[in-house]
Structure 1
Amino acid sequence: IISFLHRMVEILGISVLPCIPIALRQLLVDNEAKDMSEFLYLINQIICKFKSSANALLEDVFPAIASHLSVILSHDAFSNGFASNTEEMRELQELEKRFYAFLLHIATHDLSTVLLTPSCRHYLENIMQLLLITSCSHKEISHRKTCVQTFVNLIKDWCSSSEIEDKLPGFRVFMIEKFATGCCLQSVLDKSFNFRDGISIALFGEIMMAQKVMYERFGENFVVNFVTKLREAHCPPDLAEQYYQKLQGNDIKAFKSFYESLVMKIRQQQNGSLVFR
């Protein structure tokens, strides 16, 4: 059925959209990891094909998707249930990858307002926490990169320069206090973050972009909090001041290079005595 729907979406285009929800609800009856992974692959195709036109469809199926995945991708599933079964673990990992891609597609195709609807908002806090934890510490660097990109797009969609106009109350504070500190600072201070690894360098680039976007949308609130965290991490005062100057500049490469050197300087000062997790 799924392969047939893939072809319908590709060949018939937007005209098939009204017929899809019924089929999707039937497919959601199966909730094994492999089934859900194939389902998300189809949903991701629909989102990329129809973009904001898929808003109503996504609003209809999102609660069921979130409910199913909260069970399948639970911590216990990874740590206990399937640890000895290589094939089932592989299916779980593939599902996890497609779920993060699903959230990124929502955030990049003008569909993030779906997450704010009453039927979907029930799952929002858990999703935000999952994105936060993954962006900070997931062993798969590519997953961390995807989650950072998702957060950046959500900031652009949900936040303006004025907090009063934010679409999700509390999201701004969450990003400043949790994401900025945990992902943009603590995760890169951890000596496991490898600046010689290509994928990690790509992640670092996304982290730098996140800081620029937070500064654009959150202004001084972001800067004051982040510089405070830098100083708490034993960043030399002159470098903390330079950080603010580089952040305000337009040269992202110079900012990235400076921040890497700042991170290495703090690591040296910590002398291995302080490791963030």
Structure 2
Amino acid sequence: MAVSVTAGAAGGQDGGHEVLQVAVVEDHEVTRLGFVQALARDRRLRVVADAPSVRQLLESGAEYEVCLADLVGVGTEAEFLELVRRTDVVVCTAAEQWRSLVAPWVRGARAVHGKKVGPVTLADAVWDARHRPFELKPHLAQALTDAVSDCALSVSQDFAQLLALTARGRRVAAVRQQLAMSDERYLAELERLRKLCSSAGLGDLDFISLPLTGPQASPPASQAPEDWAALVTTAERRTLEYCADGFTEHEIAAETGLSYHTVVTQIRHAMDRFGIQSKHADLRLVFAMYVCSRHSRPEALLRRLKAAGAAAPQPRR
């Protein structure tokens, strides 16, 4: 699919107000259109390019100041890092587990959000990526709080309190004022946390490396998504549909009325059936998207699943 580019130089004015030039990268066409329409409602922003992959955007020659990008399915780790090197990047991903939110921030993304944020929040994140690039938002603050707790990272007591209060929706500026934390101290603590996360291996972006190069042929019939779907139960399929939409196990339980234990068991049994031993959150998402046919390039997902040890399914007789 070709890149959509709207003419216009980077930077501009609209009725005397600054207008920020934005690019969007998202492999699902409907979702990409939704991002474009959401950002277009904000007079501060002008979407000048949108593309299904990072590679196609980089090759398009489009000029922009901030890029809103998904992670899974849009390119390789190297391509994502090249995008971060060239411009300010805001990540919006369905992979909402804290490791998936922390990793792109460690590698240079200005902000990271889950896909359930509203259009105003998303537009503000894009604007702030250029004008307030060090202002943490609740999604990322919560992910960093979880990282500090789960990985026993050593941060100061007041900075840990800042993360916790920001995760609850408080603005960073107000929290810093409450804690009497200077700009210099805040930036130093933030950079120190980034280095701690990097040293702990939390900048690993392997989960986004779904190669998009080469022919995009459908997988062989014996390994097509519908054959995998035929080997999961109706109840498992329903749970996987929620998982493919980015819901956590607790959220799935709340939506369906099932117990948390039942949800976890259904996902585990479905993945075990294909010989997938790892139950990492990002691999669960890839598995669910493949089984539920939620991706425009199923062969890319299949490569990831096979690399994780998934065996080709045998059709039911």
TM-score (norm 2): 0.30
TM-score (norm 1): 0.34
More helix by share: 1
